[in-house]
Amino acid sequence: MSNASIGQVGGKPYVDKKNDRVKGFGDELQTSIDIIEATLRRALQSLNGESRFTMRVPVAHDMDLDRVREIRVNGGSVRVTCEAIVPINNDQVGAIAYFGGNRPERQTAYMTHVAEQACLNQAFAHEMREHTLPDVCVIECHAPGEGNWSDEDVEALVRIYEQAFSGYLVAFTHESVRGMLDGNLVAVVRHNGEIVSVVMAEIAELKTAGEVLRLAEISEVATSPQYHRRGFARMLYGVIVEHLRRAQIEVIFTEARANSVGIMVAARSAGLKPRGLLDQHCVISSEFTDVSQDTEHGSLFVFSL
């Protein structure tokens, strides 16, 4: 199964040309450190000049996650480490571990990392003010395939995304945004009928060790610039997470821009906790940031419930 943000679940790692990386999401349960290291070495054989390698794997519930965090595997000029761990409450699967590494030209400068960590700290020091939805606004939430989205809705979102991002891991076209709306859980704020803010969640299945785990990645978060600082993203995060909980989705996570305090505040407000940092993970950039980034590739903090 392939999704815009989650990517292909299962199968061999593949080349993601847009983001200059090899990306994988293994479906074989990893039961020892030796097995994880062997899995990563095999996957690294797919690397052929790309500047990043990234792979997620399910880890058995009885594994020592501190030892998983210590894994280091060399693949030429790419040194792969454990970048994040998302814990799971499951009898078979204890966590999903993110492994990644970049070539030297794509490694984030130390002072940029310091600034990004300061953004995370600021997000958790932020006083959580209560925001009220204006009377002229309404919130809608639609399950995949259930939203009756008009062409005007699609065009409004294309405009919002183009304003919000100067670069993104996928192109924002009428067709791509229509596909996102039809295929994802979507929550929006409408002002006098027009969409002004959006949060989506991609839902996928991970089949491993006789288990079927449903994953949901909260993504494609954007608000029209004239509606910033009204708490709309926070409200929509809460709506999305509540919907996913009611649907008993086992793994709920997001990958938030490391240089955006506001996005991380929204994730925190919905109860998500930071689990690690993906260094220059994909093409993502915006003029609306709290610190500058080194290249067109942005770093992301992983959060999960």
Q: What's the pLDDT tens digit per position in 243-283?
A: 999 999 999 999 999 999 999 999 999 999 999 999 999 99
Phi, psi of 257 (to 5 degrees): -55, 125
Token pair of 220 as six digits: 């494609």
CA 263, CA 270: separation in Å to the nearest integer? 11
CA 209, CA 168: separation in Å to the nearest integer? 34
259 in Cβ contact with 279 (< 8 Å): no
Phi, psi of 50 (to 5 degrees): -65, 150
Query: What is this structure's pTM?
Result: 0.95
- 110-125 helix and 261-269 helix, angle to the nearest 10 degrees: 40
Q: What's the pLDDT tens digit per position in 113-122?
A: 999 999 999 9
Q: What is the mean pLDDT of residues 223-233?
A: 95
CA 261, CA 259: separation in Å to the nearest integer? 6
Q: What's the pLDDT tens digit per position in 145-185?
A: 998 999 999 999 999 999 999 999 999 999 999 999 999 99
Other CB atoms within 10 Å distance of the CB of residue 233: 27
Token pair of 289 as six digits: 């940031």
CA 304, CA 86: separation in Å to the nearest integer? 6
| Region of 54 on the Ramachandran plot (φ > 0 left; ψ -120 to 50 alpha; else beta) | beta
Domains, the chain, with CATH or none: 14-106 (no CATH), 123-304 (3.40.630.30)
CA 280, CA 203: separation in Å to the nearest integer? 24
CA angle 140, 5, 257 (to 5 degrees): 85
Confidence of residue 2 (pLDDT cuts 50, 70, 90): very low
Alpha helices in the chain (DSSP H): 33-44, 65-69, 110-125, 151-164, 174-183, 232-246, 261-269
Other CB atoms within 10 Å distance of the CB of residue 37: 16
CA 53, CA 156: separation in Å to the nearest integer? 34
166 in Cβ contact with 286 (< 8 Å): yes
120 in Cβ contact with 264 (< 8 Å): yes
Q: Strands 185-191 and 211-223, how do they pair? A: unpaired
**Which residue in the block uniquely carries the two structure tokens 């995949």?**
144
Confidence of residue 93 (pLDDT cuts 50, 70, 90): very high
